[in-house]
Amino acid sequence: MSTPRLCLALLLGLAALPAQQPAPRVLQDQVPCRELAAGQALQLGGRACLSTTRFDLPYLVWDLTDHLPIRNDDDSAVAWLRAHARELGHGAFTPVPAGTRDWNGDTVRIFSLERDGVRLDDADIWVCFDADGCLGLVNRVPPGLDGAPAPGPEVAGVERCYKVQRARDGTNRVVVATVRRTRTPTHELVDFVVDGTAFGREHVQRVTVEPDSAATVTEYFFGGFPDQLQADARGVIWCSDPSGNRILEIDPQTGSAIPHSTLPWRQPDGLCVDPNGRVWTGLYTSGNGLGLFDRNTNTFTRFPVPPGGGSLAIPTWHHNGSIYVTQHSPARLHEFVVATSTWQPSVVLPGAWPVSATYDSTTGDMFVMQYQSNSIARIADGGGVSNLPTPQFSGPSFSAAANGKVWFSYWNSTQIGELDVATGTMSTFTPTISGAGGPIDVGPNGHVYLGTRNTGYIIEYDPVAGTTTNHLIPSGSRSLKDGLTVAPDGTVWFTSSGTGRVVRMTLP
């Protein structure tokens, strides 16, 4: 074949190939970063699909060119999931309908897994539909289901479930646990017991404890993609906008904003304000480095990436005068010494996909939320890195430290994690609002504020009472992602990134 003919044939062949579609939005929203929604080829029953993986299992799954062949009903979804149980890593577990949810106009059918009537505690599967068909699924299951033991005979009066028992060495073991429930006036305490030893406890708030609360909400529209935000000592709110390549300086009284361009450096992602009032941001475009806006000089300065660095994400201040910034992949925590404008050797993190770090001022240690490995890396002030598995397999994402506790959120659940800094033990609090978690902060009253994603609430958790109050978010500003902060006056600010809004919530 002549060269022109070959070229023509190749062109025609390429044209004949269907366009490779990115993950549908409803699937993208279930991972904290778009890179985690980048699909790889996956054959499911001879059908060309794309998927992302977690624990080497398909996590987000969608069709290469079309909708998946699943009708918008539970029976059809169950049949399809059972047919692909092996590829999806479900082992001998079978899906059971567990309700539906709306996600920005799409319908999500939720399924849990069980085996011989015993439910698996650490899994849910979302099968997502738009008006035209099945968009794909979110296959949130732990590894090791293939090797899970059979539940054995039922024991009268004993509740059991499958649960992942996590060890600090990183090993996970799917076990059949006895579930012990204790009711208090406000909570149900759920203990998971194996061989007579409780290895996990969840504090599940009873629905009727606290009514929803109507906070006063003021919305400010700035367009772009308002991302992370924090107040400076004056109460001025600083907000990153990666799509607009700008940092917004927001007057807390008027809501007016002064944009500060970061160009030619792109995608200011995470943001923190240090005690000196300097605004730091990770420039997410690979190789762009670390950004600093100094309002004293009204200048934006960019520092090149450290050796081996790529996309810098979320910065955190440390009392030693350094700014630490996460890099999602490969998992690194980079240390920038402000005084010398130099980088220290990067910390190789023990987990995967570090999202954000939190500085604990009472120990000087850093705690890094590692979404993909479901663990928290602790970077001791004097050196040394340890890896702390989270009790939930829901992707720890954001955190805040106060009085010896690190409070953290899960990307795929509204549960609130508590890490005791002294003992390293973790607890889980399950509020009355279910759905997806997101940004989190602690107020001066010690209350923890969790932003839910697309669920429509800011959840206020009082660690003393152990109860939560749900503050309704106006319908136009529920597109939370990464940004929530408690200002010095106790007001809660958050970003509704997808709608270009920054929202101020004054609690009643």
273 versus 426: smaller Cβ distance to another protein: 273
Cβ-Cβ contacts under 8 Å for 65 (sequence gap 6 or more) = 18, 19, 20, 21, 48
Least distance between another protein and beta carbon 350 (Å): 20
295 versus 332: smaller Cβ distance to another protein: 295
Q: Which of 357, 355, 332, 356 is nearest to 345 (CA)?
A: 332
Least distance between another protein and beta carbon 504 (Å): 8
411 versus 457: smaller Cβ distance to another protein: 457
Q: Are strands 322-327 and 315-317 parallel, antiparallel or unpaired?
A: antiparallel
Q: Residues in the site for another protein, rule: CB under 8 A?
A: 230-236, 251-253, 273-278, 295-296, 317, 319-321, 359, 361-364, 381, 402-405, 420-422, 443-447, 462-464, 487-491, 506-507
The DSSP letter of residue 290 is E
Least distance between another protein and beta carbon 348 (Å): 24
The secondary structure element, H or E, covering residue 316 is strand 315-317
- Residue 282 C-alpha from the chain's centroid: 18
66 versus 381: smaller Cβ distance to another protein: 381
Token pair recorded at residue 460: 């206020």
Token pair recorded at residue 14: 């390429």
24 versus 463: smaller Cβ distance to another protein: 463
What is the Cα–Cα distance from 9 to 295, expressed in whole angstroms? Answer: 58
Token pair recorded at residue 409: 């959120």
Q: Which of 338, 224, 360 is nearest to 277 (CA)?
A: 338
Q: Provide Rg for the chain, Cα atoms.
A: 23
Is residue 41 within 8 Å of 117, Cβ to Cβ? no
Least distance between another protein and beta carbon 398 (Å): 16
Q: SS3 of 146, please?
A: helix
114 versus 381: smaller Cβ distance to another protein: 381
The secondary structure element, H or E, covering residue 27 is helix 25-28
157 versus 211: smaller Cβ distance to another protein: 211
451 versus 498: smaller Cβ distance to another protein: 451
121 versus 249: smaller Cβ distance to another protein: 249
- Phi, psi dihedral angles at 424 (to 5 degrees): 80, 5
Least distance between another protein and beta carbon 482 (Å): 19
What is the Cα–Cα distance from 412 to 321, expressed in whole angstroms? Answer: 34
H-only helix segments in 66-218: 74-83, 85-88
What is the Cα–Cα distance from 39 to 62, expressed in whole angstroms? Answer: 8
- Phi, psi dihedral angles at 152 (to 5 degrees): 80, 180
